Amino acid sequence: MRWTIKANPETKKIAHLQKALNVDASVAKLLLQRGIETYDDAKAFFRPSFQHLHDPYLMKDMDVAVARIEAAITNEENILVYGDYDVDGTTSVALMGSYLKTRTPHVATYIPDRYDEGYGVSYQGIDFADDNDFTLIVALDCGIKAIDKVAYAKEKGIDFIICDHHRPGDTIPEAVAVLDPKRQDCKYPYKELCGCGVGFKLIQALAEKIGETVEDLVPYLDLVATAIGADIVPIDGENRVLAHFGLQVINTFPRPGIKALIDQVNRKNELTITDVVFTVAPRINAAGRMKHGNYAVALLMEEDAELALRYAEEINAYNEDRRETDRRITEEALEQIIVNKEQERLTTVVYHESWHKGVIGIVASRLTETYYRPTLVFTKSGDKLAASARSVKGFDVYNALEACSEHIEQFGGHKYAAGLTLKAENYEAFKQAFEDEVSKTIDRSLLVPEIHIDSEIDFSEVTPKFYRILKQFAPFGPSNMTPIFMSSNLKDTGYGKCVGEDKTHLRVTVKQPHSQSFVGIGFNMADKMSIIESNVPFKAVYSIDENEWQGHVSLQLKLRDIKV
């Protein structure tokens, strides 16, 4: 790994904030790195409040969207709530569907089939609405580029309200209302809401019209927090407020569907946003990957606890199937790389016609973790080949695909993740063109993983009080990552060993001269045992964690890397 220590804030600013908050310099430094410079900034950061949420009517077209939905409720029109099949999409549909059902019985939900319809608004979905007398479609987490489909719906007398958070193209669809904070003509102060977050702003605006406040909508925030974590949006501004209160709901009184998912993994401790991302979100996603996103929506909208538990058991089975499928395909892909000596290239491009389309994105991520190269995993999809692309930090895979577009049928996505389709006969030509493009444009240093270090500290600073303050930095995520520290001149006290069923993890007890010792756990770091055994002083990068053993709680280091 490349170790990059973040720049130190100005000494004067550290001293000023340290005095204003009565905290150690190390805490002031961490806050300044997160853009928190004053007492009021820190108060807003450590004490999220609903008062920090913006007026939903600041969003372009919000008034029009509310008026159209209110008219539909008054006139008893049929409303179809439409969303994507991933976590953000299905939570958005569950949120909007369950809220509108409190206002009108004339509501149904629709999730497109990943394989038959693909991503976003589909002609099949509009035909379904037409066949079943829906006159209004509320689309969530998709639709910002559905210009032709919205026009097609209009011809059939169906209105669209779009709630999206993806970057618009040059033209905005001619819907009744398009809610997207990333619209250039939208003055909404916070631009980083996820799809479910935009949906929440719409129900907030609808609720205000009938005299309700945001406090009345708290039960919906378990869905919003789940989407924020799963969609990897920045956890700052409004997202921090929504995630904070959403986690409170998840840990106290979650909806039956989310409670049933948590029960599946027997979690007893309070869940963090990371727990939600790695336990709840994959199960919701598994429905759309392995079966159909409708199963996830049914679970998330179910009010009967027993029925929710039955749905959760089904979805857990899909997740087990997904895990087994992606493990098998990852092994096959790694074998293909070794046999074909792909590891000698600057890109990883693999293909097998039988690989499951629902998991190739996960496999691409795993291959990127292994070889740390821009990666594409292809499978057969109808008469074409479809791929998921993943990139390394700092390299724009979308731009690289654009440079190879003569070989591609269609593609979309963003800097670090994309999807594409091409004709089978163009696969080899594309593969070479992609390798050539990456070779020309990538900075070779980007092919080595980078770890960003917030600060170098001594073990004397790692105290229970320091950790209590660090815990209040949560929820963690983009724009507010778990603080990472470095300490030097360390030695193992003689208890270092490889642990785990297959001895792939490292457990050490380390100390600095004249300091207390700490246990350090390094997952998949058994290859560093030679450094420990050499008895030479080393330095480590780590986050600080808590370990509970037989009722005794102690601080421990979660190791990220060590070097002589």
Burial of 501 (0-12, 13-18, 19+ CB in 10 A): exposed
What pLDDT does residue 264 have?
A: 86
423 lies in some domain: yes
Residues 434 and 486 in one domain: no
Q: In what order do the strands lie in the sheet with 159-163?
A: 107-110, 78-83, 134-140, 159-163, 177-179
Phi, psi of 5 (to 5 degrees): -85, 130
CA atoms within 13 A on the CB side of 327: 6
Q: Which domain holds residue 354?
A: 340-447
Give start and end residues of each alpha helix (H) in 218-304.
Answer: 221-230, 237-252, 256-264, 273-275, 281-286, 293-301
Beta strands, E only, 2-44: 2-5
Token reading at 373: 């190269």
Say if CB 141 and CB 196 are below 8 A apart.
yes
Say if CB 251 and CB 273 are below 8 A apart.
no
What pLDDT does residue 20 have?
A: 95
Instruction: Pick the closest to residue 92 from 145, 146, 153, 161 (CA basis).
Output: 161
What pLDDT does residue 129 have?
A: 98
Q: Which amino acid is at 365?
A: S
522 lies in some domain: yes
Residues 398 and 510 in one domain: no
CA 150 – CA 123 distance, rounded (Å): 9
What pLDDT does residue 413 have?
A: 72
What's the pLDDT tens digit per position in 453-467? 999 999 999 999 999
What pLDDT does residue 148 have?
A: 95
Among residues 279, 314, 349, which one ends one of the domains? 314
| 393 contact partners, CB below 8 Å, separation of at least 6 | 416, 446, 449, 450
CA 69 – CA 284 distance, rounded (Å): 28
Residues 120 and 262 in one domain: yes
CA atoms within 13 A on the CB side of 11: 0
Residues 467 and 439 in one domain: no
Among residues 265, 297, 314, which one ends one of the domains? 314
Instruction: Pick the closest to residue 121 from 140, 94, 146 (CA basis).
Output: 146
Q: DSSP readout, 368-393?
A: HHHH-S-EEEEEEETTEEEEEEE--T
Residues 293 and 358 in one domain: no
What pLDDT does residue 186 have?
A: 97
Q: CA of 53: how far to CAs of 82, 193, 272, in Å?
A: 26, 12, 22
325 lies in some domain: no
What pLDDT does residue 169 have?
A: 82
CA 555 – CA 135 distance, rounded (Å): 58
- Map tokens 């580029």 to a residue: 145
Total structural domains in the chain? 3
Q: CA of 213: how far to CAs of 91, 201, 204, 254, in Å?
A: 21, 12, 7, 20
> Do the strands 107-110 and 78-83 form a parallel or antiparallel pair, or are they unpaired?
parallel
pLDDT along the chain (564 residues), means of 10: 93 95 94 95 95 97 98 98 94 98 97 86 96 98 93 97 91 97 96 96 97 97 96 92 97 96 82 92 92 94 96 94 95 92 88 94 94 96 92 93 92 82 95 96 94 94 93 93 96 89 93 91 93 92 90 91 94
What pLDDT does residue 447 have?
A: 94
Residues 132 and 272 in one domain: yes
Burial of 11 (0-12, 13-18, 19+ CB in 10 A): exposed
What pLDDT does residue 28 have?
A: 95
Residue 553 has a CB neighbour count (10 Å cut-off) of: 9
> Do the strands 384-390 and 107-110 form a parallel or antiparallel pair, or are they unpaired?
unpaired
Residue 319 in 3-state DSSP?
A: helix
Q: CA of 564: how far to CAs of 298, 457, 490, 530, 554, in Å?
A: 53, 17, 9, 10, 27
300 lies in some domain: yes
**For position 439, which CATH number holds?**
3.10.310.30
Residues 381 and 529 in one domain: no
Among residues 297, 314, 331, which one ends one of the domains? 314
23 lies in some domain: no
pTM score of the predicted model:
0.91
Residues 456 and 407 in one domain: no
What pLDDT does residue 481 have?
A: 93
Residue 109 has a CB neighbour count (10 Å cut-off) of: 23
442 lies in some domain: yes
Residues 362 and 293 in one domain: no
Using only C-alpha atoms, what is the Rg of the chain?
Answer: 25
Residues 382 and 355 in one domain: yes
What's the pLDDT tens digit per position in 272-317? 999 999 999 999 999 988 889 999 999 999 999 999 999 999 999 9
C-alpha of 455 from chain center: 26
Residues 101 and 237 in one domain: yes
Q: What percent of the chain has pLDDT over 70?
A: 100
281 lies in some domain: yes
CA 258 – CA 1 distance, rounded (Å): 37
Residues 391 and 242 in one domain: no
> Do the strands 450-453 and 485-492 form a parallel or antiparallel pair, or are they unpaired?
unpaired
What pLDDT does residue 548 have?
A: 82
| 512 contact partners, CB below 8 Å, separation of at least 6 | 458, 459, 487, 488, 489, 490
425 lies in some domain: yes
What's the pLDDT tens digit per position in 125-148? 999 999 999 999 999 999 998 999
